[in-house]
Amino acid sequence: MFVSDNTKAILLLTAPLLLGKSQNDVKLLSNKEYHQLAVYLKNHHKQPADLLGEELSNILADYGKLEYERIQQLLQRGFLLSQTLDYWYSRNIWVISRADKTYPSRLKTRLGEQAPPILYGCGDVNLLNLGGIAIVGSRNIDNELIAYTQNIAHLAAQ
């Protein structure tokens, strides 16, 4: 599984890695906070992967000291990220970000800045650009609920 440097940076900033909280407990960037950072980077002709380089302080020079320190701490979770990516890879889980070409353009168009920065999945990632619907639920359901779900699926397919 190939994960772009942009996606790695976005994961470090926004995603709980592996089993969740580390001992540092640095607050992850929310979708809104990440969007603000992405706009800032774009306005400075940068992309998320540039945050992984040595010039972080130059890139975020006028972003705010508190946010700079928080972003710096989040980006220091590289070892945890590598463990998490290995774990996902062993389970055939892929991960893409809004910065990747494989990210569904329909999500970007319809959700705009509220489109999730990261998507996780299993299977053919290219299916995300096709139309479709998925119905997911418990394995422990009764016949009445099965019939209801089949009716909903039939209506959705029309």
Please write the tens of the pLDDT for every residue from 17-48.
876 555 567 899 999 999 999 999 999 999 99
Domain ranges, ordered by start, for the chain:
5-129
Paired residues of 20 in beta bridges: 17
What's the pLDDT score for residue 132? 75
Which residue reads 């699926």 in tokens?
153
pTM: predicted TM-score of the whole model, two decimal places? 0.81
What's the pLDDT score for residue 20? 52
pLDDT for residue 51 is more than 90 = yes
Please write the tens of the pLDDT for every residue from 95-116.
999 999 999 998 899 898 889 9
Which residue reads 């020079």 in tokens?
61
Is residue 13 within 8 Å of residue 7, measured between CB atoms?
no
Is residue 31 within 8 Å of residue 117, measured between CB atoms?
yes
